[in-house]
Structure 1
Amino acid sequence: MHANREPAKHRTGQHLAATIAIAIAGSFGTVSNALAVEIASGDWTVDVGGIVNTYYTSVSCSGDAVGGPALAGKALGCSGENNKTTIGNGLLPSGLITKFKTSQNGLEIGGTIGIMVAAAQSSAIASNSEVDVRQAFFTIGTAEAGTLKIGRDYGIFASNAILNDMTLIGAGAPTQATQRGRVTLGHIGAGYTYLNNYGQLSYTSPVLGQGFTFTGGLMSPVDAGAYSSKSYPQFQGQLAWATGGFKAWVGVVSQKFYGAGGSGGSFDANAAEIGATFNSGPFGLLVNYEDGKGLGILTEGDEGPINGRAYLIQGTYKLNDKLKFGLNYGESRNSDNNATNAALNASFKSNSNVTGGLYYALTKSVTLAGELGETRSKDYLGNTAKQFGGSFGGIIFF
């Protein structure tokens, strides 16, 4: 950096950053005027901003023992206890987001580095030093040709579901096994799979005729349980269409998995999604549906070669300029009860979650949120586990 840098300037009237992490946050509306610090030197501009949030969550778990990724079960939902309290992050982590951009040789060049950290640990003595670098990428493009992204960033598949989930700035399903040391889950595993972070080469088109946009990418393939990746990348793609207050999309994800250690049992994970949002005046609606082999519950392939499906339905209403109410319901499930599911996933069937929330914009940068919800997990043996939870706290975007 140069000693003759111009003084720092504050930017107003923009989203915090043009990345999924910040676009997710900014999309809710109450934080669309978030501030960032902008530093300019020569042809370069660097923006520094971030997120800090913490929520008091209290949960109780009851019912039967359910194996597999049972989010309502005592092991995951309440960290092995009947009741549990954590004061930690909601669905978003806390983090420092740095953006940079310049124009060179007729190309728009930019990038983002996002460094995240958790608020709560199981120990007050141990250092909170685990850093989660979710983003480290740069982009090259033009308005006419579109944009190429190179580096580590969020994926494409399931991005619209979490992007429009009202619990994004709250907690959603307050799964205690993940809130300590990381974040809660919103509707991840109970309405949609996580969009994940990948090393990637991806492309986003300019807005095409009639409002269509295409995004596609080659992602670094992932391992999942007893299955591993080899020479083939993962592919994700999405075609979206927007007009007025309506937006619709279709998406796909595909990867080949192999039995670990050459044990055989390879399978192709191929899943698709379709969804839409509609906003008119104070009302907002969201529907999203995912289906496919190897879809997984939390992430692709985590249930093995099992057919899965997930859906999320949500309605929101702005009571006034400050206060929004919302109610949503989601479910993720393994659709088949067979020997493979029994062997790999303890005959796991489904997670579902219903959440009601109030979100109050205290200022243009600070939102306070309170939520109540219930998560249920079932298996194909007839067992049901329940988690009831509530959360309240706040989030700031700067």
Structure 2
Amino acid sequence: MKKSLLAQSVALACLAAAAGGAHAVSFTQNDVTVDINGTVNGFYVNRDAKLTNKTTGTSNTTNNSELTNGLLPGWINFVVTTKAGDQDIKAHFSFAPGINNNSTVVGLPIGNNANGAGVTNPYSQIDTRNVYFQFGNNDWGTLKFGRDIGLFGQNIILSDMTLIGVGGTSNAGIPYNTTFGMIGHGYMYTGFQAQITYTTPNFNGLQASAGIFQPSKFAGDETKTPGFQAKVDYDWKGGVPGKVWGGLVTQSTSCSTTTCANKDFTATGYEVGAKAGFGNFEAVAYGFAGKGLGMSTVGAQFFQGGNAAGEKTDSKGYFLQGTYKFNKTKVGVNWGRNRDEKGGTLDTTGNGLGAVNSQTNTAYTVGVYHSLNKFVTLVGEFNNEKVTNSLSEAKNNTISAGAILFF
């Protein structure tokens, strides 16, 4: 293979945009080819968390030790490709289960809610992340229809070294079926979203994508138009290979009643990023800004993008990363910060501290990633997070060790 199995599988499992990924099983019937690949991981995670109430000065320290998935869940991909006339056609289905359930008694099934009326199952859920088809060619580009990874925030999460590890755990209970990596600490989560997108042909490394996305009624009760996302990438090779990119996201909502602060509400976000390699060293730099886009400190787009007075949440984030590869072992460190102000309110009542409308998340990760063989990578990370607002300060230290398999 021209690329390592690890790199191909991560790109397929997360980006899910290139049929030429790692094909663990591949077979052809007539003119249709089916490729199957996947990934499984498991980590031991130990987290020390300290929460300080700024009003009283009191603090509470807890420690959790669990076995859990990392930033990636398990993932199985079925990719179908064929050609009809001058059109390259592809369909992709994926299922992403985790290793945990919410049963506290070994041997018993997962717990139920309301005396068995439905299953409470945020742990062992099977998430259908990819279900789409696309067609096109190198002359006019490609059209995609279905559910796939978003455009805004796509490149940075695929560049985050904690993608194959654990990263931070402040926004995720452990055990759970994914952690957050550096999501909410330098960038927002792109998500897997219903979309119709167009991607141009590759013009000597320059390529653009744009599309309409499933809207969210995050600030009103009507969505007259879909969301819109776009990104432009420029890749180059040579002695110092690299990539630069820019992206945007926007969505509008409206209100049909008199109870809304504003009849119309539009959220926007912008991003720029770059990465470059110098021999065995690679550096990544990224930044974004959002207006009404949501609480970036919890990593989710369109979550509490404004308040009852119609004020929009101001969000911004920065991310830096450097990695160096020694033969089969890669070491790296990254740092990120997100800050949200005004607008949306982050509810901290679960800690008995009330609610705030501004917060800063800062984190760094030190990681070691050793390729044991072409299938298995051993991972060890230390992550430090600090979450501050007007009412409290939370500090988390997370140590994780485990392995991830790609096939």
TM-score bucket (shorter structure): 0.7 to 0.9
Counterpart amino acid of residue 301 in structure 1: F
1:102 to 67, 82, 93: 82
Q: TM-score, normalised by structure 2?
A: 0.82
SS at 2:130 equivalent: strand
- Quote the residue 1:331 is aligned against: 337
Counterpart amino acid of residue 106 in structure 1: D
- Quote the residue 1:171 is aligned against: 166
Is the aligned partner of 1:370 residue 2:377?
A: no
Is the aligned partner of 1:306 residue 2:313?
A: yes
For structure 1, the residue ranges without an aligned partner over 5 or more in a row are 1-9, 27-31, 67-72, 75-80
- How does 1:211-230 map onto structure 2 within 5 Å? 211-224=205-218, 227=220, 230=223
Query: How many Å apart are 1:60 and its aligned residue?
Result: 1.1
- How does 1:129-208 map onto structure 2 within 5 Å? 129-175=124-170, 177-208=172-203
Contact 1:17 1:99 (C-alpha < 8 Å) held by counterparts = no
Counterpart amino acid of residue 48 in structure 1: I
SS at 1:240 equivalent: strand
What do residues 285-309 of structure 1 show as CA deviations (whole Å, max 9, x unaligned)?
Answer: 0011010202331122213221110
SS at 2:139 equivalent: coil
Partners of 1:257 and 1:195 lie apart in 2 by 20
What do residues 312-371 of structure 1 show as CA deviations (whole Å, max 9, x unaligned)?
Answer: 1000011x221110000011111x3x4x45587623311111100000000011101000
2:324 to 313, 317, 321: 317
Residues 145 and 33 of structure 1: CA distance in aligned 2, closer, same or farther (over 3 Å) = closer
RMSD of the alignment, in Å?
Answer: 2.8
Counterpart amino acid of residue 321 in structure 1: N
Identify which range, 169-178 or 246-255, moves more after superposition: 169-178
For structure 2, the residue ranges without an aligned partner over 5 or more in a row are 111-122, 306-311, 348-354
- Quote the residue 1:239 is aligned against: 232
Partners of 2:17 and 2:395 lie apart in 1 by 29
Residues 237 and 12 of structure 1: CA distance in aligned 2, closer, same or farther (over 3 Å) = closer
Is the aligned partner of 1:126 residue 2:126?
A: no
Q: TM-score, normalised by structure 1?
A: 0.84
Number of aligned positions between the proteins: 365
Counterpart amino acid of residue 371 in structure 1: E
Q: Would you identify which runs of 4 or more consecutive aligned residues in structure 1 move more than 3 Å?
A: 10-14, 16-20, 22-26, 32-35, 175-181, 226-229, 257-262, 340-345
> Greater relative contact order (Cα 8 A, min sep 6): structure 1 or 2?
1
Contact 1:288 1:313 (C-alpha < 8 Å) held by counterparts = yes
Query: How many Å apart are 1:85 and its aligned residue?
Result: 1.8
SS at 1:168 equivalent: helix
SS at 2:304 equivalent: coil
- Quote the residue 1:289 is aligned against: 287
Contact 2:171 2:180 (C-alpha < 8 Å) held by counterparts = no
What do residues 33-74 of structure 1 show as CA deviations (whole Å, max 9, x unaligned)?
Answer: 9551001100100001111001111101113259xxxxxx98
Query: How many Å apart are 1:259 and its aligned residue?
Result: 6.0
Residues 82 and 223 of structure 1: CA distance in aligned 2, closer, same or farther (over 3 Å) = farther
